[in-house]
Structure 1
Amino acid sequence: MRSFAGIWIPLVTPFQRDGAVDHAALSSLTARLRPDIAGFVVCGSTGEAHALDESEQLAVLDTVLAAAGDTPVVMGLGGPHRAHLHQQLSTLSSRRLAGLLIAPPYYVRPSQAAIVDYFLDLADRASDPIIAYNIPYRTGVSMDFATFEQIARHRNIQAVKDCGGNPALTMDLITRTPLQVLAGEDANILTTLCAGGVGAIAASAHLFPQRFTAIHRLILGDRISEARTLFHGLWPLIQALFDEPNPAGIKAALANSGLMQAHCRAPMASASPALDQKLAGLLQQLQ
């Protein structure tokens, strides 16, 4: 089984002023972050995958793979068109991936039985292990515990990115399934790790990644008080980063640090001047 333990960063996709992907900034950002984290997730919601066509997604992935070195890379994948997903899986099979992050098909709001069928079909065809992505506020449907019980029996479904917003479900996943549970909401990193989760896929870890990794390490060492102090120090920044729809805040903070431009691609909007100013102040306090 592949280990997904630790702090993973769902990478933003930098854009130039003309809207093109800024591959130089993406490569530089990847190289900067890789020493401090467990791995990267490419083309998730933070990466604005919805706004990238398939060739752009593959180009982004290849840039990250080239810059990541030995650091593991997970690719986001999803959608309601099954034949297209099969084609994408075939294309991705030639890439060096640690796994695939897959959510239930968005918009169509399938039944729980249909979600099980969806994951098992993709798991049968995938060359890499799957992280099931439970994020009902984006897909329109929440995965029930019974659904997780069924898909967890497949050897190729090995972890879950938990954005369900249900503490009881989180605890059930940790204690009653073999799935590795990763916090998917940055606000829940501390509680998920303390409950026995293996790690987090955390957009806010673009900033001060060493501190997020330290929180994970301290909890593993039963040094909960120290981990709590570190997380409390980051809490105002974590909250502010999501004052506006992600990834506007993350991009504004990275731009403030001179690492990329803050542009988002429509239909996403870049951060407002007010949020940009707020983040600049918080970053200065945390230096």
Structure 2
Amino acid sequence: MVTPFTASGALDRDGAASLAVRLVEGGCDGLVLSGTTGESPTTTDAEKSALIAAVRSAVGDGVPLVAGVGTADTVRTVELTKAAEKSGADGILVVAPYYSLPPREAVEAHFRDVADASGLPVMLYDIPGRTGVRVTPDTMVRLAEHPRIVAVKDCSYDALGTQRVRARTDLAFYAGSEEHVLPTLATGGTGYVSTAANVVPRHVRAILDAYARGDTAEAARRQLGLSELVELVTASGLPGAVTAKALLGDLGLPAGRVRPPLRSADAKTAAALREAYERLVAPQA
């Protein structure tokens, strides 16, 4: 989920609550807060806690909330984990510690320290294209022995490595890249953490529902139908927070501007996003 901001740039608690309710009503059976699309590097620790509390109040206790807590600092990540648990999160999303480029053993120790810090289940976030640090398959296999490390958001673009981990552990794998949802499900994956669902949750949910009932042809048709919008949202050279917020704002939904160093999408990009959105939703109207 994006993190909505007010016109002055502050956290928009009411907007976040409204957007969260829309996403749940649109078929999202859980929400990831303060992830990459939620602009976690530029929100304060207090804002992260306030966001969890606002969304929890809006959606109730029946909707799982996973809080992004990963930073480049193990001590701060532990602190954010404890704060997320106190604020009402049901689980945490922990990215590999970035910039310092710690060796494999240090990466593993980081995740174990964070998992030991609370009673919350942990979703590992493997996205080496952003962090510069790979959570290797062998590291995941060892981390799977920890009772609270239970899932992976997979943005590794390493299908073989992912399958090696799936074959040797009970970790629940979630596609973290929009184009990988069906391959992930087909090899025993669990679900899908989606940026596009910020704007078209029902369309994303329809892919999962078609696959779940065994209609793989319909799932593929819907996945391919979503591909134009997905490409503009996630592969246009702009971060997903920028494109998702541009389209949400154009639709009159809570979003606001992105925070620096990100810059809001220009008018041409926003228009292209809206046109792709209209082409996608028109047949359903």
Instruction: Please confirm whether the aligned pair reaches a TM-score higher than 0.5, indicating the same fold.
Output: yes
The amino acid that maps onto 1:43 is S
Scaled by the length of structure 1, the TM-score of the pair is: 0.92
**Equivalent residue number for residue 85 of structure 1:** 77
Deviation at residue 200 of structure 1 after TM alignment:
0.8
Are the equivalent residues in 1 in contact too, given 2:81–2:118 (CA < 8 A)? yes
Matched residue SS, 1:93: helix
Counterpart in the other structure of 2:275: 281
Counterpart mapping for 1:1-287 below 5 A: 11-35=1-25, 36-69=27-60, 70-242=62-234, 243=236, 244-287=238-281
Higher relative contact order (CA 8 A, sep 6+): 1
- Determine what percentage of the aligned residue pairs are the same residue: 31
Q: Which runs of 5+ in 1 are unaligned?
A: 1-10
User: Which residue of the partner structure matches residue 5 of structure 1?
Assistant: none
Extract structure 1 runs of 4+ deviating beyond 6 A: none
Distance apart, 1:262 and its partner CA: 4.2
- For residues 261 and 143 of structure 1, what CA distance do their matches in structure 2 show? 32
Which secondary structure state, in structure 2, belongs to the residue aligned with residue 247 of structure 1? helix
How many residues get paired? Answer: 277
Structure 2 residue identity aligned to 1:271 = A
1:97 CA drift (Å): 2.1
Q: C-alpha displacement at 1:176, in angstroms?
A: 2.3
Q: Which amino acid aligns with 1:22?
A: D
8 Å CA contact retained: 1:248, 1:262:
no
How far residue 86 of structure 1 moved from its aligned partner, in angstroms, is 2.8
- Where do 5+ consecutive residues of structure 2 fail to align? none
Question: SS at the partner of 1:278?
Answer: helix
Q: Secondary structure, in 3 states, of the residue corresponding to 1:154?
A: coil
TM-score (structure 2 length as normaliser):
0.93
What secondary structure is seen at the aligned counterpart in 2 of 1:137?
helix
Q: Secondary structure at the match of 2:153?
A: strand
